[in-house]
């Protein structure tokens, strides 16, 4: 089981060269039969990026996310109360803004590594990351 951050999801779907070899290998290792988690906060960020014109999608964000969600190994996970509280009470408060804290708390909640290119999150010792 792994959790993708927003950039990792976008780069994986678009087969973008910015996705590291290790990140791609970890994602592909979950296919088929594994589990790739995507936080609801990532759906929010995808929609915001598309709305701002920073992410060119050929369809509405909800349709794009639904296509990805149709893959057997993908599971969207909510930002529930437990994750929200964890995000506010992380040890040595995780670097980055609210989205980074929610992703960090989600990775801790599910006990899985976060696929992220963020150097700040990779340096945070309270979660496992892959890049």
pLDDT band at 78 (very low <50, low <70, confident <90, very high): very high
Q: How many Å apart are CA 22 and CA 113, to the nearest integer? A: 12
pLDDT bucket at 92, cuts 50 / 70 / 90: confident
Average confidence score pLDDT of the chain: 95
pLDDT at residue number 109: 97
The reported pLDDT for the residue numbered 32 is 85
- State whether residue 117 is helix, strand or coil: coil
Residues 59, 65: Cα–Cα separation, whole Å: 10
pLDDT of 93 > 80? The answer is no
Can you give 27-55 as a three-state secondary structure string?
Answer: HHHCCCCCCEEEEHHHHHHHHHHHHCCCC
Report the number of distinct structural domains present in the chain.
Answer: 1
**What are the structure tokens assigned to 10, written together?**
């976008």
pTM for this model (two decimals): 0.94
| Residue whose token pair is 């594994």 | 34
Domain hosting residue 22, numbered range: 2-130
Q: Which residues contact 93 (CB under 8 A, 6 or more apart)?
A: 101
Q: What is the mean pLDDT of residues 12-25?
A: 95
Under 8 Å between Cβ of 22 and 128: no
CATH of the domain at 25: 3.40.50.1010
In the DSSP assignment, the letter for residue 97 is S
pLDDT tens readout for residues 43-71: 999 999 999 999 999 999 999 999 999 99
């Amino acid at each position: 089981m792994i959790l993708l951050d927003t950039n990792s999801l976008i780069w994986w779907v678009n087969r973008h060269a910015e996705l590291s070899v290790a990140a791609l290998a970890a994602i592909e290792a979950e296919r088929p039969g594994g589990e790739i988690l995507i936080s609801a906060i990532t759906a929010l960020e995808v929609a915001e990026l598309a709305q701002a014109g920073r992410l060119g999608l050929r369809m509405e964000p909800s349709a794009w996310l639904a296509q990805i969600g149709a893959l057997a190994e993908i599971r969207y996970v909510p930002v529930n109360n437990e994750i929200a509280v964890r995000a506010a009470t992380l040890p040595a408060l995780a670097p980055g803004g609210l989205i980074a804290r929610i992703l960090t708390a989600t990775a801790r909640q599910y006990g899985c590594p976060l696929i992220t290119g963020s150097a700040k999150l990779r340096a945070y010792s309270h979660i496992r990351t892959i890049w």
